[in-house]
Chains A and B, each alone.
Chain A
Amino acid sequence: MKEKPDVLQGTLTLMVLKTLDVLGAQHGWGIARRIEQISEDLLAVNQGTLYPLLLKLEHEGSIVSEWGVSENNRRARFYRLTAAGRKQLQAEARDWEQTAAIIARFFNVKAEDLT
C-alpha cells in the first residue's frame, strides 16, 4: 500500500492562509476539512498539527481569532486573515511558485539540453 505523502514543512502554513483568504473567517475544524477536501484525501494531514500552527500564526500576527457561532449553532473559535497575514500569503505564494517553477524546469530538462 502506498503511503500518502506527508505535508511538506511550511506548506501547511500556506494552505491555511490561502484557505482563510478564500473562505473568510473559519473555525479550526472547517480549515482542516477544507484542506482535506481540496487535496482530495491525497494528503494525510494529522488534523491535530493544525492547532499549534494556528496559535503560532496568531502570535505572529498573521491571523486573529474570536469567538463565534458555527453553522450548526456551536460556539467555536473563528480565525480571520489580517492585513499582515495577507501580505505574508502573497510573499509565500510567490516563493512557492518560484520554487515550483524551478523544480518544473528541472523535470523538463533533457540530456541534450545540457551539452
Chain B
Amino acid sequence: MKFLRRFFVRLSNLATGRGTDQRLQEEIAEHLVFQTEENMRAGMTPPEARRQAALKFGPAQAIRERHHAEQSIPFIENLLFDLRYAVRMLLRSPGFSFVAIATIALGIGATTAIYSVIDATLLHPLPYPNPGELVRVVDDLPGVGAHDVGISVPEWRDLESAGIFQSVSVSGTGADVNLTGSAQPERLSYKHATPNYFTVLGVDPQLGRTFDPHDATPGFNLEAVISDGLWRREFGADPHIVGKALRLDNDVYHVVGVMPRGFRDLGSTSEERNTEVWLGAGMAGLPFPTPRRGIRLQSRAVARLKPGLSIAAAQEHLDALVESLKKQYPEEYPSQAAWTVRLTPLSESVVGSVRQSLLLLFGAVGLVLLISCVNVANLLLARASVRGREIAVRHALGAQRTRLVRQLLTESLLLFLLGGIAGCAILFFARKFLLQLVPESLPHMSDISINWGVLAFALAVSVAAGTIFGLAPAWLMSGVDLIGTLRQEGRGSVGSQGRSRARQILVISELALSLVLMVAAGLLLRSFWDLFKVQPGFNPDRVVAIQTWLPGPNDPSQDIYRTATQESVLLREVLRRSRVLPGVEEAAIGDVDALPLGHSNPGTLPLIREGIETMDNQAPVIHSPIVSPEYFHLLGMPLLRGRLFSDQDLEDTPQVAVVNQAAARTYWPNQDPLGKRVRLHLDSRELLNSAGPAWTTIVGVIADARTESLADAATPQIYRSLYQHPAKSLAIFLRGQLDPSTILEQERRQVQAVDPELPVFRAQALDTVLSTSLSVRRFSMEMVAFFAATALLLAGLGIYGTISYVVNEQRREIAVRLALGAQRGNILKMVLRRGLALAAAGAGLGVAGALIVSHLMTGLLYGVSPTDLPTFAGVTLVLTTVALAASYVPALRAMRLDPITALHSE
C-alpha cells in the first residue's frame, strides 16, 4: 500500500515538475532565517550568524538532490532525457534521419497495408457472433467422384435432431429474381433459406423480425426479409415497411423484417454477398421436389455447433450418424456411392480460395520489412563510425554501457516509431488509391480499412522492429575502444572489427532476402504470363454477354415460359432483333452456366449413361450448359466429330446433346461417344414437365475449352439445346463492333419490346471477364514484383553503403598502396572483388532460401516448376549486376584517391 502510494506521489511529482523541490527550497530558506535570528540573539555578527546557521543546517544542495532522486522515477526521467537527446541527434543529421525514416515508413507502411487486407479477410472472415461455431455441412459421394452434392430434406431433419448442432440451416446458393411493380423491373439477388437461417447466423433485424425458426411451412412461406440497401433504395427507408407486399417474379411476398446496415450474406462471390432479399422456405413442398433421401437440393447447409464442441469432435459424432443412416436405408445409400458428410469451418468457404495468395503477399511484405529494417540497422552502424568519439567521451565521463545502450536504443526506437507513423500516415492518405489496386473479386473487399487493430499492429511492428534492429547496433556502438578512439584526434574513427563484420552480415542477409523475393516474383510472373497466353479454347474477342432472366413463379402453371416451345418463341425473336443492332455480327443465347469463367459455382447434374449406371445415386455429376445452336460458332469452339445443334432440334424431336473432348475421354474412354444415350436427371418421374422423352442422344463432340478456369484444363461438359430445355437465367452473347456504353441500353430496348417485364442487366465483355478471372493472381504477382523491386533497391543501397564504408576505412591503406606504385586498375578490382564476394555469399544463401519458399508456393504456380532454372539464373544475374553496379561508384572513388591528400589529412 505504502509502496503504491509512494509510486503515485512520484508519478505526480514527475507531472508537476519540481513542485516539492520548490517547497523544500522555501523551507530551507525559512529555516536559515530562523536560525540566523537565533544566532544573532546569541550575540553573533550577522555574517557569522548566517555562516553558523548554514553550517548547522548541513549541505542544502545535496539534501535537495537526494530528495529529488528519492521522489522521482529515474527510469522515466532518463527516458525523457534520452528522448530529448534523440530528437536533437535526429535533427542534427537530417539526411540520415530522412533516409532511415523513409525506409522504415516503406517497410511498415507496406506491411500494414497488407495486414489490413488480411485483417478484413483471413482474420475476420465472418461478420457474425461466435464465428468459430459456424460450419458448412458438405455431402460428398466420393464413390462416384461427386463432391458437394447438396443435402436432402430428410438428411437435414436428421442433422437437426442429431444433438451435434444448435441448428442447421439450408439455403439456396443465391439466384436472381425480378422485383416488379417498380418503375424499371429490377434484378435482385435473392436466396431462399430455411426459416432458422438468421438464427444460425445469429443476426437480428433492425426492423421487424426474421423468419420464425419454428415455421413449418413446407414450401415458400411468402415472407421476405430485405437488406438495408434495398430498403433505402427502393422503399425510401420507409419505417412502416413491415407487412408491405413485395412482388417477386409474379409472386407476392410480405416484408417481415429489414436486416441491419452492413449485414452481409455468406458466400465467396460478390453476387452472393450482395443478396438483398431472403425468402423463407421449408424446402419440402412445391416448388421443391418431394422430400426423399435421394433428392438432393441445390443448396448450402450451414450449421451452428453446440457451444464448446470442436469441429473434430462434431465430425466424429456425425460419422457415426452417417454410418447408422447407411445401415438403416441401404437402398438410398448404396455402398458404391460411399456417402459421407463433412464439416468445414465456414470461414474456409469464404476466404479459403485467396488464403494462399494473401499469405504469400504477407510473407513477401514481411521480407521487405525485414530488408528495410536491416538497411536501417546498417545505417545506424555506419553512423557509429561518425559518432564513435561522442560515445567514447560519454564513456570516459563515466556513462555505463547499459546506460549508453539504453540511450542508443531510445534513438532507434524513436526512428522506428517515426517511420511507423509516417508509414501509416502515407497509407491513410493513399488508401483510396491503393484500394483501387485490390481486385474486386477479393472477398470482403469493402471491409478493408485502417482500424484500431491495424494501427495497433503497426505500432507493435514498429516497436518490435525498433527493439530488435536497434539493440544489436546499440550494443556494438557502445562497445568502443576508449583509448583507441579518443587518441585518433580529429581523424574520424576506425570501426571495430565486430562492427564491420556485423555490417557485412547485414548486407549479405539483405541480398539473400531480396533474391528470395525476386525468385518468388519471377516465378509468379512466369506463371501469370503462361496463364495469360494459355489458349482458352474459345475466342473472347469482341464478345459481349448481357444477362436476362425469365420470371419463374412458384406455381408452374402460371409460367408463360414453362416449356421450351413457349420460351423459344421469345428467344428466336430476341435473337432476330439482336442481330440487327448496329455492329452486331453474330448473336447467340445460353444459360448462365454457358458464361465462360463468369460463375464460381456452376450447377451440376447427374450423368446417367445408358447401360452403365443402374443406380441413380451412383451417378457422376457433370456441368451441363444449355445453349442456342449459334453458341459454338460465336465463341469459336470447333466441332470435332458429329454435328452441332440445329434449328430443327425441338422439344418434340429426339433430345440431343454435344459433349466436349474431356467428357468423351472421361465417360466413354476408348469408345465413340456419338450415338450414346444419357439421362441428366435422377428419375424421370420427378420431372415437373415430364412430357419429353427420358433419353438424350449425343450427336457431336467439340474441342475442349477452359470455360471453368484458365488454370484448369477443360472439365467435362455436356451441352444441351436451348430449344429443347427451357432455362430461366439467360445470357445473350453478341459478337461484333459493339459500343460497350450503349449496347446494354440498345439490347434492353429490343428485349423489352418483346416482353416489357424482362430485366436486362450486366453487360460484360468476355475479354474483361477473362482478365478479371486472373485478377487475384495479377494482384499478387504485381505486388510481389513491386516488393521485389523495392527489396532490390534497398539491397543495392545497402551494398553501396557498406562498400563506401569499407573504402573510407581503408583510405590510408589504399593511399599507401598507390604511393608505393599500385596500379589504379588493381585498386578498382580489389574493391569490386569485395562487392562481388558479398553478392556471392548473399546469392548462395538466397538461392537456398528461395528453393524453400518456391516449394511452399507451388500451389500458386502454373506451368512453371518451383526450381525453374531460367528464373533462378536470371534473378541471380540481376542481383549480381546490381551489387557490382552499387560497388562500382565507391570503387571508382577509391581508384581516384589522391594519395598525397589522403595521407596528408590523416
Contact = CB atoms under 8 A, between A and B. Distances in A.
Interface residues of A, number: 21
A48 B2 contact: no
Contacts of A48: 28, 57-60, 63
Interface stretch (B31-39, B315-323, B590-598, B815-823): B31-39
A60 B2 contact: yes
Nearest to A56: B70
A52 B58 contact: no
B66 A51 contact: no
A47 B31 contact: yes
Contact of A28 (B20, B31, B37, B59): B31
B48 interface: no
B24 A51 contact: yes
B34 A55 contact: no
B157 interface: no
A76 B58 contact: no
B6 A59 contact: yes
Contacts of A76: 30, 34
B27 interface: yes
Nearest to B67: A52
Contacts of A32: 31
A70 B31 CA distance: 12
Interface string A21-33: 0000001110011
B92 interface: no
Contacts of A115: none
A9 interface: no
Interface string A61-74: 00000000010101
Given A29-B30, A47-B35, A52 B6 contact: no
Interface in B1-60: 2, 5-6, 9, 20, 23-24, 27-28, 30-31, 33-35, 37-38, 56-60
Given A28-B30, A48-B28, A55 B20 contact: yes
B63 A28 contact: no
A18 interface: no
A51 B59 CA distance: 12
Contact of A77 (B27, B33, B63, B71): B27
Nearest to A46: B58
Contacts of B58: 46-49
A55 B63 CA distance: 12
A37 B693 CA distance: 126
B28 to A, nearest CB: 6
Contacts of B66: 52
B2 A29 contact: no
Contact of B63 (A27, A51, A72): A51
Contact of A59 (B9, B33, B38): B9
A32 B34 CA distance: 11
Interface centre among A48, A51, A70, A74 (most CB of B within 10 A): A48
Given A47-B56, A47-B57, A52 B30 contact: no
A46 B58 CA distance: 5
A59 B16 CA distance: 15
B31 A29 contact: yes
Contacts of B6: 59-60
Contacts of B9: 59
Nearest to A29: B34
Contact of A55 (B30, B38, B67): B67
Given A28-B27, A28-B31, A52 B57 contact: no
Contact of A51 (B27, B33, B35, B56): B27
Contacts of A28: 27, 30-31
A18 B27 CA distance: 21
A49 B63 contact: yes
A68 to B, nearest CB: 12
Nearest to A52: B67
B779 to A, nearest CB: 62
B35 A77 contact: no
Nearest to A47: B57
A46 B24 contact: no
Nearest to B23: A55
A17 B71 CA distance: 21
A20 to B, nearest CB: 16
A34 to B, nearest CB: 13
B59 A52 contact: no
Given A59-B6, A72-B37, A51 B70 contact: no
Interface in A67-111: 70, 72, 74, 76-77
Given A28-B27, A29-B31, A76-B30, A52 B70 contact: yes
Interface string B65-105: 01100110000000000000000000000000000000000
A52 B56 CA distance: 16
Contacts of B5: 59-60
A72 B37 CA distance: 10
Interface of A: 27-29, 32-33, 46-49, 51-52, 54-56, 59-60, 70, 72, 74, 76-77
14 contacts: A29-B31, A33-B38, A47-B31, A47-B35, A48-B28, A48-B57, A52-B63, A55-B20, A59-B5, A59-B6, A59-B9, A60-B5, A72-B37, A74-B30
Q: Which 3 A-B pairs have the closest CB atoms?
A: A46-B58, A29-B34, A48-B58
Given A47-B57, A52-B70, A70-B34, 14 more contacts: A27-B34, A29-B34, A46-B58, A47-B56, A48-B57, A49-B58, A51-B31, A52-B24, A54-B27, A55-B20, A55-B67, A59-B9, A60-B2, A77-B30
